[in-house]
Amino acid sequence: MKQIYLDYSATTPVKREVIDTMLPFFTEVYGNASSIHSFGQEAKTVLEQSRKSIAETINATPDTFYFTGGGSESDNWALKGVMRANRKKGNHLITSKIEHHGILHTCTALEKEGFEVTYLDVDAEGMISLEALEAAITDQTVLISIMFINNEIGTMQPVKAIGEIAHKHGVLFHTDAVQAYGNVKIDVNAMNIDLMSVSGHKIYGPKGIGGLYIKKGIRIQNIIEGGAQERNRRAGTENIPGIVGFAKAAVMADEALESHREKLIYLRDKLANGIMATIPYAKYNGHPTERHPGNVNICFEFIEGEALLLSLNAKGIAGSSGSACTSGSLDPSHVLLAIGLPHEIAHGSLRLSIGDFTTEEDVDYTIESLKEIVQKLRLMSPLYDKVLKEGK
Amino acid sequence: MKQIYLDYSATTPVKREVIDTMLPFFTEVYGNASSIHSFGQEAKTVLEQSRKSIAETINATPDTFYFTGGGSESDNWALKGVMRANRKKGNHLITSKIEHHGILHTCTALEKEGFEVTYLDVDAEGMISLEALEAAITDQTVLISIMFINNEIGTMQPVKAIGEIAHKHGVLFHTDAVQAYGNVKIDVNAMNIDLMSVSGHKIYGPKGIGGLYIKKGIRIQNIIEGGAQERNRRAGTENIPGIVGFAKAAVMADEALESHREKLIYLRDKLANGIMATIPYAKYNGHPTERHPGNVNICFEFIEGEALLLSLNAKGIAGSSGSACTSGSLDPSHVLLAIGLPHEIAHGSLRLSIGDFTTEEDVDYTIESLKEIVQKLRLMSPLYDKVLKEGK
Amino acid sequence: MLYTEKVMDHFMNPRNVGEIENADGVGEVGNVKCGDIMRIYIKVDGDQIVDVKFKTFGCGSAIAASSVATELIMGKTIDEALALTNKQVIDELGGLPPVKVHCSVLAEQALKAAIYDYATKNALTFKGLEGYDPDEDHHDHDVVDIEF
Amino acid sequence: MLYTEKVMDHFMNPRNVGEIENADGVGEVGNVKCGDIMRIYIKVDGDQIVDVKFKTFGCGSAIAASSVATELIMGKTIDEALALTNKQVIDELGGLPPVKVHCSVLAEQALKAAIYDYATKNALTFKGLEGYDPDEDHHDHDVVDIEF
Ligand SMILES: Cc1ncc(COP(=O)(O)O)c(C=O)c1O
Ligand SMILES: Cc1ncc(COP(=O)(O)O)c(C=O)c1O
């Protein structure tokens, strides 16, 4: 059966060019980048080249970019590191209700340490309010952390304006750009970003490697102590193959950004429009224009997301859901609840995320399959009775 | 020029079989292991198989082994996680003066958080004293963290006896087994180990992947919060290629443990004896028998370690040094000072670590080269004058 | 795979889906908030269940559990049906992941609710319904979440 | 690479290694604790340095800096030699990593110490030695450590 992968927001395949760049570093240039012999110094050289390449894609200097073990570690580091290091300045952090759990669960942990966190609401399209943000700032506020692009509904926040407000009040601004990096052009300077989390496996690079941009001069504590790697800020033998692969993927993404976006937006709109035109009782979530180029998120009334995913999978289509049932949690996704969806609708959500290897046929086939599946599941659903009987 | 790698304790090349096992997971089975579609479920399956394989090598059940981003993260997690989660029980931690910085710097951070740390002395061969350990335990002691094998001088601690003492007093026992795993047989149950750090790149597996064994029932806080991966204990999209590679390397190491040890010990002794027999004013560091099968650590009087390393490197030989000068620090390695070496001798240390690809010719060539190099550097050294003039 | 082949078979080809017009008993458990609703219809002849159908809003295992439960009790006596446990449902499905065990409980409860409805309407009592409380909440999800 | 080719060349093939019997001035700086000791011998004729040799215990850049410093002052007048700065040593080496800059300072200081010795023995004064304190500690390592 043909396999159609529409879960690029969960993770991406590693591009051939990326693997080819990584391979020599497993078996040939395998030295520890901190060693002074040739094996080590060669590794050190490519380490610093990789850092430079990535820094350039976000208009940063190399000494502001630190490699980590992934987006979650970066999120934890940014928030815990900045809040703990700046206790003297204040104990207040502002974030939003729709952040990734890498941020939200870190906030919970910080609350247990005595920090105060404001969780901003979002509107029906997933946008925070700049007025509410500014109003939430107190003289205790140290950091604002607002994600660049939401992983579920794809909504893109006005990052530059958020940074402006932060800086006007002398507050630092972190953004979780794990979904944005490689999908929109990011300029940390022009966008007033002080700290930014990114991850390799979302941009056709390897898993287990990520990064944190930390503007110069920012006070931040370590979360992984030990050797002096990453200029004394993140211990652990450098994952050179991962770093080299991440850098290659980052440069490829940066170079092809425009065509990548155009392609994704075209397929995304085709997919979303196709579904909305053929399946009734469906709601397109997220912002109509300010959104991830490859993100489609739709709720189908009367049915549950996991059943939808399993049925799609049986037809070879890989999607994802903010459904609670996929995870065993009682509540549906906090993001869908935050945009005001009632539980029963939020349970029926489907995220299809498009990427560089998606084809027009994939999209057509998906629309067709989805129509059948939704109909089949609805006929099984006690909630659909009303519609059948009353025409609703 | 022939390249001779004698720095296996710093990091190892990835074995061909390991890479071959990893490759499909970059481009084919690339799904997110938390996704319910086939791409994800296949990843999930190999994730759990890998966990099981590794757990078996240490006689643990799979649900006690957690993947991390490396040995340093495991060390940080074990110490911070256990101490923070058990504040009610006490605030005291016991470790040794010769731990890796992943432990020592974590201890410093914990001291800043208000915990108390006892740093045990070691004897001239790098051994802690079991009596001193037991005497250091107070009713506040929560955790003992003593490394299995020291990374510089190779000394192996009496882990089982340490665990026995810990348990006798109701104290938890963590061991940093980054250098031991794959080089000695470890049985966490028989050895009374409650938590244990391991790392992939020291056993011919990939960099950027490690693990922490956590015995069931142990209270531990997370250091990386977010998604529910690793049973809610370590967030971040699972690094499947890294995990699969780590597991393959672990199984290979376990299966060949005996022959690996025999080979290493033979070459190690040949190298150490060869050097000691041909170069005067040299001191063999570490324990004569209880030591890493591949570790040779020797101090050469009158000369400095970095100069030695550079000269070796010029002859194609990659070694390592606990020398301060390699790192820009004023003091030589804390390990060499802890075993009581005076500064001037500790500065002239050389670690040569043997691994699976080391040959007998490598060893012969190294002995030969080292003799020349040491002589050349000594003739340049003002400290050697005495010897030349007085015959010392 | 997340689910056994048996679960997938019952999910993809559920038995006894639908409604029974003028059913003798109808039971519904679960709620939309939690994302599972199971409704079971039974037709009774004497003390025998001669027909059973279900409609389920819920995840794959909820649908599979409904399907298997209806299959297990088809043609059985009411007492036999009341003896059905969620354990049997799980076994028949070849196992369920821990977080999905509640689906089997729901199926057991939906069936009980249908029989209770039948009993109430016909003023009958069954030993198997002793202590049965139709308003109890049978949800026991574990809270686990992952997102990407 | 950690070091420039120039550094490596001077380290591998150091110029002017050795001692001068009956040197006119000998200067030694550094200490074993820090892992660098540099000793410079000079032979003076009139106001000219006609020979210079060194012995160094220390890292690659300490040896290279010693070598380059002796080369730079060979045949120079004492005043010219006193004008030598660690910056010139670094430039001549094509640069040094930040943590190794102190090696160039040591070379400058070892040379000053040798001239100071010569001056003291011969009761001479030089403008370039004004304010020179032979007991000052010139170490300025950064503390950075990595181990594996
Ligand atoms: C918005 C966002 N933040 C953080 C993460 C975590 O990144 P990683 O899986 O690399 O730890 C993800 C994806 O998993 C994400 O989508
Ligand atoms: C004893 C010991 N512990 C911890 C570590 C850290 O491991 P990693 O580099 O995988 O973070 C190392 C090696 O670097 C080590 O030798």
Residues from chain C contacting residue A101 (CB–CB below 8 Å): 145-147
Answer whether D1 touches A (CB < 8 Å): yes
Nearest partner of A53 among A186, A246, A236, judged by Cα: A246
**What's the A103 CA to ligand 1 centre distance in angstroms?**
9
Question: What is the structure's pLDDT at C144?
Answer: 46
Name residue C51's beta-bridge partners. C43
C-alpha B109/C-alpha B103 separation (Å) is 10
Q: Which residue has the tokens 């504590």?
A: A221
User: D143 CA to chain A: closest CA distance, Å?
Assistant: 10
Residue D144 has pLDDT above 50, yes or no: no
H-run or E-run covering C112: helix C101-121
Residue A308 has pLDDT above 70, yes or no: yes
Contact B37 A239 (CB under 8 A): no
> Among partner residues D2, D144, D145, which is closest to A36 by beta-carbon distance?
D2
Task: Answer for the pair C47, C78: CB distance below 8 angstroms, yes or no.
Answer: yes
Q: Which residue has the tokens 């699969």?
A: B244
3-state secondary structure of A91: coil
Query: Token pair for residue A216?
Result: 């110069």
Question: What is the structure's pLDDT at C34?
Answer: 81
Work out the mean pLDDT of chain C and round it to a whole number.
90
Confidence bin at C142 (pLDDT 50/70/90): very low
Q: Take atom 8 of ligand 2 and give the residue whose Cα is closest.
A: B71
C-alpha A195/C-alpha A68 separation (Å) is 13
Question: What is the structure's pLDDT at A2?
Answer: 86
Residues from chain B contacting residue C1 (CB–CB below 8 Å): 38, 41, 45
Residues from chain B contacting residue D96 (CB–CB below 8 Å): none
Tell me the count of B-D CB pairs closer than 8 A. Answer: 105
What's the farthest any 2 CA atoms get from each other in chain C?
54
| Region B226-241 average pLDDT | 95
A183 C-beta closer than 6 A to ligand 1: no
Answer whether A227 touches D (CB < 8 Å): yes
Residue D2 has pLDDT above 90, yes or no: no
Q: pLDDT tens digit string along B4-60?
A: 999 999 999 999 999 999 999 999 999 999 888 999 999 999 999 999 999 999 999
Question: What is the structure's pLDDT at B329?
Answer: 63
- Pick from A158-162, B219-223, C106-110, C132-136: least confident: C132-136
End-to-end CA distance of chain C: 20
C-alpha A25/C-alpha A244 separation (Å) is 8
DSSP 8-state symbol, A233: T
C-alpha C73/C-alpha C83 separation (Å) is 10
Angle (CA) A339 A344 A345, round 5°: 50
DSSP-assigned states of every residue in A176-222: E-TTTBTTB---TTTTT-SEEEEEGGGTTS-SS-EEEEE-TT-----
> Does residue C34 or residue A52 have the better pLDDT?
A52
Subunits with 3+ C-beta pairs closer than 8 A to B: A, C, D
Question: What is the structure's pLDDT at A330?
Answer: 64
Question: What is the structure's pLDDT at C6?
Answer: 96
Confidence bin at C141 (pLDDT 50/70/90): very low
Number of other CB atoms surrounding residue C123 within 10 Å: 6
Q: Which residue has the tokens 């397929």?
A: A267
Residue D139 has pLDDT above 90, yes or no: no
Task: Answer for the pair B156, B184: CB distance below 8 angstroms, yes or no.
Answer: yes
> Among partner residues C12, C55, C145, which is closest to A381 by beta-carbon distance?
C55
Query: Token pair for residue A222?
Result: 């370590």
Q: pLDDT tens digit string along A18-72?
A: 999 999 999 999 999 988 899 999 999 999 999 999 999 999 999 999 999 999 9
Question: What is the structure's pLDDT at A392?
Answer: 56
Query: Token pair for residue A128?
Result: 């925070």
Question: What is the structure's pLDDT at C133?
Answer: 81
Residue C136 has pLDDT above 80, yes or no: no
**What's the B199 CA to ligand 2 centre distance in angstroms?**
7
A71 C-beta closer than 6 A to ligand 1: yes
Number of other CB atoms surrounding residue B369 within 10 Å: 17
**What's the A25 CA to ligand 1 centre distance in angstroms?**
26
Confidence bin at B175 (pLDDT 50/70/90): very high
Question: What is the structure's pLDDT at D142?
Answer: 45
- Among this protein's residues, is D59 annotated catalytic? no
Residue A11 has pLDDT above 60, yes or no: yes
Residue B318 has pLDDT above 90, yes or no: yes
> Among partner residues B101, B303, B311, which is closest to D145 by beta-carbon distance?
B101
Note whether A touches C: 3 CB pairs or more under 8 A. Answer: yes
B236 C-beta closer than 6 A to ligand 1: yes
**What's the A103 CA to ligand 2 centre distance in angstroms?**
28
Confidence bin at D34 (pLDDT 50/70/90): confident
Question: Which residues of B are designated catalytic?
Answer: 325
The total number of residues shown for chain C amounts to: 148
- For residue A257, what are the contacts with CB-CB under 8 A and spacing of at least 6? A182, A184, A185
Confidence bin at D35 (pLDDT 50/70/90): confident
Q: Interhelix angle for D60-73 vs D101-121, to 10°? A: 50
Residue A76 has pLDDT above 70, yes or no: yes
Residue B313 has pLDDT above 50, yes or no: yes
Residue A199 has pLDDT above 90, yes or no: yes
Question: What is the structure's pLDDT at C146?
Answer: 54
Residue C1 has pLDDT above 90, yes or no: no
**What's the B323 CA to ligand 2 centre distance in angstroms?**
18
Confidence bin at C148 (pLDDT 50/70/90): low
Mutate to test the pocket of ligand 2, among B12, B146, B151, B152 (most ligand atoms within 8 A of CB): B151
Q: Interhelix angle for D5-12 vs B305-314, to 10°? A: 100
- % of chain B at pLDDT higher than 70: 98
The total number of residues shown for chain B amounts to: 392
Q: Which contacts qualify for B25-31: CB closer than 8 Å, 24 or more apart?
A: B25/B240, B25/B241, B25/B244, B26/A13, B26/A14, B26/A19, B26/A206, B26/B241, B27/A13, B27/A14, B27/A16, B27/A19, B28/A13, B29/B240, B30/A11, B30/A12, B30/A13, B30/A14, B30/B240, B31/A5, B31/A7, B31/A10, B31/A11, B31/A318
Query: Token pair for residue A313?
Result: 């999978």
Contact A32 D148 (CB under 8 A): yes
Q: Is B144 left (phi over 0), alpha (psi -120 to 50) or beta?
A: beta
- Pick from A87-91, A281-285, A328-332: least confident: A328-332
C-alpha B246/C-alpha B252 separation (Å) is 10
Task: Answer for the pair B321, B306: CB distance below 8 angstroms, yes or no.
Answer: yes
| Region A356-362 average pLDDT | 98
The total number of residues shown for chain A amounts to: 392
Question: What is the structure's pLDDT at A221?
Answer: 98
Surface of D (19-78) touching B: CB under 8 A: 19, 28, 32-39, 55-60, 62-63
| Region B281-290 average pLDDT | 97
Question: What is the structure's pLDDT at C131?
Answer: 82
> Does residue A221 or residue D34 have the better pLDDT?
A221
A206 C-beta closer than 6 A to ligand 1: no
Question: What is the structure's pLDDT at C137?
Answer: 59
Nearest partner of A357 among A12, A55, A35, judged by Cα: A12
Question: What is the structure's pLDDT at B325?
Answer: 64
Residues from chain B contacting residue A309 (CB–CB below 8 Å): 36-37
3-state secondary structure of A316: coil
Question: What is the structure's pLDDT at D133?
Answer: 81
For the entire predicted model, the pTM comes to: 0.95
Query: Could you tell me where the beta strands, DSSP code E, fall in chain B?
Result: 4-5, 65-68, 92-96, 116-120, 141-145, 172-176, 195-199, 210-214, 282-284, 295-300, 317-318, 349-353
> Does residue A378 or residue A331 have the better pLDDT?
A378
- Pick from A186-190, B58-62, D28-32: least confident: D28-32
Give the Å distances, CA to CA, from B124 to B82, B95, B103, B145, D48.
31, 17, 21, 20, 52
| Region B105-112 average pLDDT | 98
A205 C-beta closer than 6 A to ligand 1: no
Nearest partner of A162 among A115, A195, A198, judged by Cα: A195
- Pick from B91-95, B342-346, B374-378: least confident: B342-346
Work out the mean pLDDT of chain A and round it to a whole number.
96
The total number of residues shown for chain D amounts to: 148
Work out the mean pLDDT of chain D and round it to a whole number.
90
Query: Token pair for residue B104?
Result: 């020592």
SS3 content of chain C, % helix, strand, coil (to 5): 40, 20, 40
> Does residue B304 or residue D33 have the better pLDDT?
B304
Contact B344 D58 (CB under 8 A): no
Give the Å distances, CA to CA, from B360 to B268, C87, C106.
10, 63, 68
